[in-house]
């Protein structure tokens, strides 16, 4: 799966808002997009906060566990892009 460019995402969110405002979202795709965009925004803040927390060096076991979780989250996006055929 390819990550949309900033302008593509902005356009998609604006279109989703339009669909919701005009009751044209019969398959709830716009609703889902708006929900996941907000959820992603919040999770990005959590990830950023966790990275700052790690920077100041807390307990070694918690530190190692959190580092692994952050790497896993970061790698998930890379792997999802690599799994798609080149023409997508």
What is the reported pLDDT for 87? 46
Strand ranges in 1-88 using DSSP code E only, listed in sequence order: none
Residue 19 corresponds to which tokens in the numbers above?
């669909």
Tell me 26's DSSP state.
Answer: T
- In this prediction, residue 53 carries a pLDDT of 72
> Is the sign of the CA dihedral 12, 14, 15, 19 positive or negative?
positive
Each domain of the chain, given as residue ranges in start order, spans 6-82
Please tell me the distance from the alpha carbon of residue 11 to that of residue 85, in angstroms, as a whole number.
Answer: 24
The pTM of the full predicted model, rounded to 2 decimals, is 0.63
pLDDT by residue for the chain (88 residues), tens digit each?
788 999 999 999 999 999 999 999 999 999 999 988 888 877 787 787 777 677 766 767 677 767 777 777 777 667 655 654 554 4
């Amino acid at each position: 799966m390819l990550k949309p460019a900033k302008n593509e995402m902005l356009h998609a969110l604006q279109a989703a808002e339009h669909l919701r405002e005009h009751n044209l979202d019969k398959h709830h795709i716009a609703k889902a997009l708006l929900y996941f965009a907000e959820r992603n925004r919040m999770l990005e803040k959590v990830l950023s906060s966790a990275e700052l927390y790690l920077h100041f060096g807390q307990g070694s076991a918690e530190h190692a566990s959190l580092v692994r979780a952050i790497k896993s989250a970061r790698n998930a996006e890379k792997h999802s892009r690599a799994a798609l055929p080149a023409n997508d």
